[in-house]
Chains A and B, each alone.
Chain A
Amino acid sequence: MTKVLDPTNEATPADIPRVSRPESLDGLTVGLLDISKPRGDRFLDRIEERLVERGLRVERFRKPTFTKPAPVDLRHEIATKCDVVIEALAD
């Protein structure tokens, strides 16, 4: 992982902005991100079933802990493999 110092005036967020929401999920790869809260996986399992029934490709991801932001490598992997991502919060 490379870490650099921001050369800008830091008036805008350092993160790259989200892509806009697609009109339809047809033909897209959907990422399902489990943030590691208990039973979030159960919820995502069900979402996965529903998406697969619709013929969509699904990729599963899991954050090491819900208490911290997703590691930059995980974010990059999701952004590279998926068109959209669904993040599940459960308790």
Chain B
Amino acid sequence: MSVTELPVLPDGLVVIVKEDCPTCELVIPVLEQLASGNQLTVFSQDDPNFPEEIADRQFDGDLAISWHHNIETVPTLLVIENGKEIARTVGWSRSQWESITGVPQLGVELPDHRPGCGSLSVDPSMSADLELRFGGSTMKARRVEFASLEDTHEALFDRGWTDGLPVIPPSEARVMAMLEGTTRSPEEIVASIPPDLAPCTVEKVAINAVMAGCRPEYLPIVLAGVEAVCTDTFNMHGLLATTMPHAPVLIVNGPIAQQIGMNSGNNALGQGNRANSTIGRAVQLVIRNVGGGRPGEVDRAAFGSPGKVGFCFAEREEDSPWSPISTMYGFSAGTNTVLAFPGEAPRNLVDQLSRDPDSLARTYAANLISIQHPKLVLGFDAILAVAPDHSRVFREAGWSREQLADRINELTVRPGHELIRGAGDIPEGIPEAMEELDLPKFRPNGLHIVHCGGAAGLFSAIIGGWVNGEMGSDPVCVEITP
């Protein structure tokens, strides 16, 4: 049988059942009633000997009948005339069964109705396989075969498709299931991926998302992340090619973060949460595999950072004293967004004694000044991740995000003569021409204050940025669409 061919059902009454369904068990007397005096065929999905009471039973073991005839519930009763379905009902309802069969007094000893059970053909563990087997694959990517004696995981390493950690083999069935996570067409071009500027389809993103370990519901965030980093503004090519260690840091806002189980609390910047760990990794695998961006080739990072495997977390919105960070980019609170920030590894910042906002701001400023170099100013943005034990101080004092950022910037202002090249016996510094100016550490909106982290710990964290503006990269925030 051709995989896409619709199997014709016998004329008369057709019932699809499975043994593992109490409603199917319940209607056996009705099936016996119908078998005498009607042309009745029963298809069993799981047990070829079920129901034993019915002589004309057939086995739909490969679920071809069930899949092709869109059976979602068992029992399903169909009326077939000249090979065409003219009526159907699902579950057990005496009135419906009587009405479409024209047989009165069906199952009088049974309850009036009883809902059915899920058809095996729509079981989530099988539906992608069946779609592939019977629906025919529509995927465009090249198929690559590994030998039976070849270890699949070793073969994936050998081809250079991994980031050094194992990946999930991107079988057609897994990629098909992944594509269920978005309403977008698999053929739609998402972006041109640097450095090769290769056009990348939704399907290619899905393949890499499978490899990274994503679940289908993460795919819209991965797609948005790929779009964000592949803008001219974000300049992924430069960020990849730089000798500096930075890479995309993805911050997710909006209800989707909780819906898919992202971590914004305890250990938010660390390991242990599947969504956090795999979404950023999927974006990095797209850059590696589709874009051709590999360390030692176009990726010239002197050190790199652990975050280059993937770095993604959600903002802790539920008890934040501030609006979501996405509002800095014109989105309203409650919108699903991903913010791509060119960041390095986080470092912790301790202040267990401050209890007023100004002293905490001083602690922050003293630490933030050192990003990249204390004598280099305005050229690097930063994320300041504030944990609940610190954020409480600002909530109680009524400090807005802008107020805190302004105060930090004010506290970082230093006279140009301390910052210019040669000052303090350090050649590194800003050009001598800026000697007369008083300069803050950050450009306007360069400091990104986000709320995340566990409920205990009087800490905040700093994620230093890469070169900002025209010479480097500007953060990009995009909406996540289904």
Contact = CB atoms under 8 A, between A and B. Distances in A.
Contacts of B155: 2
Nearest to A12: B292
A5 B143 contact: yes
B78 to A, nearest CB: 35
A89 to B, nearest CB: 24
A11 B204 CA distance: 14
A7 B145 contact: no
Given A9-B198, A11-B198, A16-B158, A4 B148 contact: no
A7 B291 contact: no
B117 interface: no
Interface string A73-85: 1011100100000
Given A11-B196, A16-B159, A80-B149, A6 B144 contact: yes
Interface in A1-55: 1-11, 14, 16
Contact of B145 (A1, A8, A9, A16): A1
A4 B171 contact: yes
A10 B289 CA distance: 9
B146 A4 contact: yes
A14 B143 CA distance: 9
A7 B211 contact: yes
B171 A5 contact: yes
B290 A2 contact: no
Given A9-B291, A11-B196, A1 B208 contact: no
Given A14-B142, A16-B159, A7 B147 contact: no
Nearest to B155: A2
Nearest to A15: B144
A7 B146 contact: no
B181 to A, nearest CB: 16
Interface string B111-145: 00000000000000000000000000001011111
Contacts of A9: 193, 196, 198-200, 204, 289-292
Most central of A7, A8, A14 by chain B CB within 10 Å: A7
Contact of B207 (A1, A5, A72, A76): A5
Interface in B44-86: none
A71 to B, nearest CB: 8
A5 B149 contact: no
Contacts of B171: 2-5
Contacts of A75: 147
A5 B158 contact: no
Contact of A2 (B145, B207, B291): B145
Contact of A7 (B143, B170, B199): B170
Contacts of B196: 9, 11
Contacts of A3: 143-146, 171-172
B147 A4 contact: no
Contact of B142 (A2, A10, A16): A10
A4 B155 CA distance: 11
A69 B132 CA distance: 25
Interface string B163-206: 00000011110010000000000000000010010111001100
A11 B292 CA distance: 10
Interface in A55-91: 72-73, 75-77, 80
B40 interface: no
B43 interface: no
Contact of B152 (A2, A73, A76): A2
B170 A4 contact: yes
A75 B198 CA distance: 30
A80 B148 CA distance: 13
A75 B172 CA distance: 23
Contact of B172 (A5, A8, A73): A5
B289 A4 contact: no
A73 B147 contact: yes
Contacts of A73: 147-149
A2 B159 CA distance: 14
Contact of A6 (B141, B193, B292): B141
B159 A5 contact: no
Interface of B: 139, 141-150, 152, 155-156, 158-159, 161, 169-172, 175, 193, 196, 198-200, 203-204, 207-208, 211, 285, 289-292
9 contacts: A1-B148, A2-B155, A3-B143, A5-B143, A7-B289, A8-B292, A9-B196, A9-B291, A76-B149
Closest 9 A-B residue pairs measured CB to CB?
A76-B147, A9-B198, A6-B142, A5-B141, A7-B289, A72-B145, A2-B146, A7-B207, A73-B147
Interface of A: 1-11, 14, 16, 72-73, 75-77, 80
